[in-house]
Amino acid sequence: MTNNIQVTRKNPAYHLKDIQHYYGNTKVLDIDDLKIEKGSITGLIGPNGSGKSTLLKLLAFAQKPTLGQIFYKGRLELPFSSSIRSKITLLTQKPYLLKRTVFENIVYGLKIRKEKNNLEKRVAEALLNVGLDYQDFATRFWHELSGGEAQRVAMAARLILKPEVLLLDEPIASVDIESAGLIRQASLNARKNWGTTLVIASHDLQWLYSICDHQLSIFKGNIFSTGVENIITGPFEKSDQKTLIKKLEDGQIITLNAPSQTASTAIIRKKNICLALEKQSGNGHINQLSGHITSMLLEKKSETIVAAISVHDLSLIVLLSPDQINRLDLYPGKKVILYFHSHDVEWI
Amino acid sequence: MDFIVAGFIKAIELLISGDRATWTAVWATIKVSTGSMLLSLGAGLPCGFVLGYFDFKGKKHLRTILDTMLALPTVFIGLAVYAFISRQGPLGELGLLFTLTGIAIGQTILAFPIVTAITATTIENIDHDLKLTLVSLGAGRRNIIATCLWEVRYGILAAAVTAYGRVLTEVGISMMVGGNIKYHTRTITTAIALETNKGLFADGIALGLVLIMIAFIVNLSLSFLRKQ
């Protein structure tokens, strides 16, 4: 095996290079270069079918990419390799519990590693981590658990392994608010106590922003390292040779520079969208859209606010500084104007 | 109608009195069917796993052949085994013709496709997330195979019960390969056929009752195991 990246302490946990993955003839992932730092918590955002689960499977080394290489801590690794199998664990979207008791489900990974000491104590700790009582749950069978309890037992089965990397695919999709809080705390504790690197895919932006250092957005297999970006899908109408327009049902129109080659989806980076309280006079190349703020989330690392603006049936994201929030007196429900230049568009 | 009632009464008498001819047929049946089941499970489980779990070239063709083997008539298997183990056959020197071992070989050929096909279907229907879960918990190839088989243990039990039912009740192989030799290779089914031909319905019904009882005990034991 040729390692073209030297193993040093500074190597990221993951380095994905020129990754392409296909299901049949359909390309589901296309990542040129992606690094995930050790001990970081990375959020993965994207619509259904965007490639999140596939990416997590590749990161878990449970699937081989069609093309490209994945380096783990600077070393080129292959799927199912025994050297990394015990270090990385994935909690799938619909966790599968073995047809056994909760206790046996949780110790399964330890038994594979031939660890037999203090099993009861370790299971009790793992269950406590996800807010479940050992006495109540250890002897229950898989079919005696609710969806949320099954999710938490599956999480406990991963936490007991003290993994180097914990990959979570929609971990709170079927749990209540309390369980979501417990899973959040358990994830943060894993990083704090064992230096675990976490990659978490979720549709719940509020929950994700409350736990992640940074977010990656994924759409049609393309990764946007700047986090969630604005995706505008067709149909578009041709206005002239160089311009496409999208008519919203409330009469507002979005004007975009036409793509140079065939593409069907427009990306407007959130950094290119500005916000004001009133419409301004400008040329025809500036889009001015009226909408309402629906939510505001703090992006911890940059200490900026990510605001979601509802423009009829579109939800657009803008980045705001705390100063702007104060100056414009912004709050969810407030009517605002978004403006961006028609040439600030990327097509995929 | 009277002869059927009389047959039931005679059946109970034969069983209680420990009639030698009846009980040697019972033991011969239990021995060959259990032996053939163990052989077919030993070979069929791994083959079924491979067929159900992995994707490989020619899998569809193999499955078609297997499905065809499910419909093999017992007299044909009997004929084929006879041809191989008779004195002129390639395995004639082994002296397996008209022995319980010979019958067990034939019954294994009968049960093998049943065990393999049901195991393969059970494995194919395994939740797709199971393998991913096992891999993500650090399981190696051996652990994956063992855990998958354990997860579908009820499906495999069903395969075993179905195959056992088939070998327990077949006549063609036992008759052709075993030769229906009294006190030696006579099984319950061949004895029933013979007694009926002779007009001795009571003996036939007695043996039929034993056959049903064995099947009932096997199913009861498996049902008990399932509850465990």
CATH code at position A19: 3.40.50.300
Q: Is residue A8 part of a domain?
A: no
Chain-chain contact of B140 with A98 (C-beta, under 8 angstroms):
no
Q: Considering only CB atoms, which chain A residues are within 8 Å of B143?
A: 112
Q: Is residue A3 part of a domain?
A: no
Q: Considering only CB atoms, which chain B residues are within 8 Å of A108?
A: 137, 147
Rounded distance between C-alpha atoms, residue A234 and residue A96, angstroms: 37
Residue type, A214: H
Point out the domain boundary residue: A224, A251, A270. A224
Decide if A152 contacts A182 (C-beta within 8 A): yes
According to DSSP, residue A297 is labeled: E
Chain B, nearest residue to A158 by Cα: B137
| CATH for B138 | 1.10.3720.10
Residue A3: the pLDDT is 38
Q: Is residue A325 part of a domain?
A: yes
User: Cα angle at B189 between B186 and B191, to 5 degrees?
Assistant: 50
Residue A282: the pLDDT is 65
| CATH for A256 | 2.40.50.100
CB neighbours of A231 closer than 8 A, spacing ≥ 6? A47, A219, A265, A266, A267
Q: Is residue A104 part of a domain?
A: yes
The residue among A58, A77, A88, A108 with the most chain B CBs within 10 A of its CB, best to mutate, is: A108
The residue among A82, A84, A96, A151 with the most chain B CBs within 10 A of its CB, best to mutate, is: A96
Residue B83 burial (CB count, 10 A): 13
Chain-chain contact of B136 with A90 (C-beta, under 8 angstroms):
yes
Q: Considering only CB atoms, which chain A residues are within 8 Å of B147?
A: 98, 108
Chain-chain contact of B136 with A92 (C-beta, under 8 angstroms):
yes
Q: Is residue A5 part of a domain?
A: no
Rounded distance between C-alpha atoms, residue A225 and residue A217, angstroms: 6
Q: In the sheet where A75-76 sits, what is the strand order?
A: A75-76, A67-72, A14-23, A26-36, A222-224, A214-219, A41-45, A197-201, A165-169, A88-91
Residues A26 and A41 placed together within one structural domain of the fold? yes
Closest CB from B132, B137, B140 relative to A109:
B137
User: What is the residue range of A34's domain?
Assistant: 14-224
Instruction: Spell out which chain A residues touch chain B, with contact meaning CB-CB distance below 8 angstroms.
Output: 57, 60, 62, 80, 82, 85-86, 88-92, 94-96, 98-99, 108-109, 112-113, 154, 157-158, 161, 167
Contact of B136 with chain A, judged by CB distance below 8 Å, is answered with: yes
Contact of B55 with chain A, judged by CB distance below 8 Å, is answered with: no
DSSP states of A172-191 as a string? TTT--HHHHHHHHHHHHHHH
Chain A, nearest residue to B126 by Cα: A96
Q: Is residue B8 part of a domain?
A: no
Chain-chain contact of A86 with B138 (C-beta, under 8 angstroms):
yes
Decide if A275 contacts A334 (C-beta within 8 A): no
Residue A343: the pLDDT is 82
Chain-chain contact of B132 with A157 (C-beta, under 8 angstroms):
no
Q: A223 forms bridges with which residues in the sheet?
A: A218
Q: Considering only CB atoms, which chain A residues are within 8 Å of B129?
A: 92, 94-96
Chain-chain contact of B132 with A92 (C-beta, under 8 angstroms):
yes
Top pLDDT among A285 and A211 is at: A211
Decide if A42 contacts A212 (C-beta within 8 A): yes
Distance from the B135 Cα atom to the nearest Cα atom in chain A, whole angstroms? 7
Closest CB from B127, B132, B140 relative to A90:
B132
Chain A, nearest residue to B128 by Cα: A96
Of B220, B209, B199, give the one whose Cα is nearest residue B29.
B209
Residues A213 and A259 placed together within one structural domain of the fold? no
Per DSSP bridges, beta strands A346-347 and A265-268 are: antiparallel
Residues A318 and A244 placed together within one structural domain of the fold? yes
Q: Considering only CB atoms, which chain B residues are within 8 Å of A112?
A: 137-140, 143
Residue B117: the pLDDT is 94
Point out the domain boundary residue: A196, A224, A252. A224
Q: Considering only CB atoms, which chain B residues are within 8 Å of A96?
A: 127, 129-130, 132-133
Query: CA B209 → CA A236, A339, B184, B202, distances in Å?
Result: 78, 88, 21, 10
Q: Is residue B129 part of a domain?
A: yes
Rounded distance between C-alpha atoms, residue B123 and residue A127, angstroms: 31
Residues A140 and A253 placed together within one structural domain of the fold? no
Chain B, nearest residue to A59 by Cα: B136
Contact of B138 with chain A, judged by CB distance below 8 Å, is answered with: yes
For residue A187, pLDDT beyond 80: yes
Mean pLDDT in residue range A299-327: 86
Rounded distance between C-alpha atoms, residue A119 and residue A337, angstroms: 59
Contact of B132 with chain A, judged by CB distance below 8 Å, is answered with: yes
Domain count, chain B: 1
The first and second tokens of residue A257, run together, are 């520079």
User: What is the residue range of B121's domain?
Assistant: 30-185
Residues in chain A: 348
For residue A317, pLDDT beyond 50: yes
Per DSSP bridges, beta strands A335-341 and A274-276 are: antiparallel
Q: Is residue A337 part of a domain?
A: yes
Decide if A217 contacts A268 (C-beta within 8 A): no
Residue type, B137: L
In order along chain B (228 residues), what is the average pLDDT of each group of 10 residues?
74 81 89 94 92 89 92 92 90 91 95 94 87 88 88 86 89 91 90 86 81 84 72
Residues A181 and A265 placed together within one structural domain of the fold? no
Rounded distance between C-alpha atoms, residue A230 and residue A212, angstroms: 20
Residues A266 and A305 placed together within one structural domain of the fold? yes
Domain count, chain A: 2
Residue A107 burial (CB count, 10 A): 21
Contact of B140 with chain A, judged by CB distance below 8 Å, is answered with: yes
Decide if A60 contacts A72 (C-beta within 8 A): no
pTM score = 0.74
- Hey, is B65 helix, strand or coil? helix
Q: Considering only CB atoms, which chain A residues are within 8 Å of B139?
A: 85, 112
Of B157, B196, B160, B192, give the one whose Cα is nearest residue B175.
B192
Rounded distance between C-alpha atoms, residue A290 and residue B188, angstroms: 87
Q: Is residue B157 part of a domain?
A: yes
Residues A284 and A334 placed together within one structural domain of the fold? yes
Q: Is residue B220 part of a domain?
A: no
CB pairs under 8 A between A and B: 53
Q: Is residue B104 part of a domain?
A: yes
Point out the domain boundary residue: A209, A224, A239. A224
The first and second tokens of residue B109, run together, are 């050929």
Chain-chain contact of A89 with B137 (C-beta, under 8 angstroms):
yes
Residues A172 and A197 placed together within one structural domain of the fold? yes
Q: Is residue A2 part of a domain?
A: no
Least confident of A65-74, A77-86, A301-310, B114-123: A77-86
Mean pLDDT in residue range A39-54: 90
Rounded distance between C-alpha atoms, residue B143 and residue A56, angstroms: 22
Q: Is residue B221 part of a domain?
A: no
Residues A168 and A29 placed together within one structural domain of the fold? yes
Distance from the A153 Cα atom to the nearest Cα atom in chain B, whole angstroms? 13
For residue A8, pLDDT beyond 60: no
Contact of B126 with chain A, judged by CB distance below 8 Å, is answered with: no
Residues A218 and A313 placed together within one structural domain of the fold? no
Residues A299 and A320 placed together within one structural domain of the fold? yes
Residue A5: the pLDDT is 40
Residues A299 and A211 placed together within one structural domain of the fold? no
Top pLDDT among A65 and B201 is at: A65
Residue B1: the pLDDT is 66
Q: Considering only CB atoms, which chain A residues are within 8 Å of B133?
A: 92, 95-96, 154
Q: Is residue A158 part of a domain?
A: yes
SS3 labels along B127-178 = CHHHHHHHHHCCCCHHHHHHHHHHHCHHHHHHHHHHHHHHHHHCCHHHHHHH
The residue among A98, A153, A199 with the most chain B CBs within 10 A of its CB, best to mutate, is: A98
pLDDT band for position A57 (50/70/90)? Answer: very high
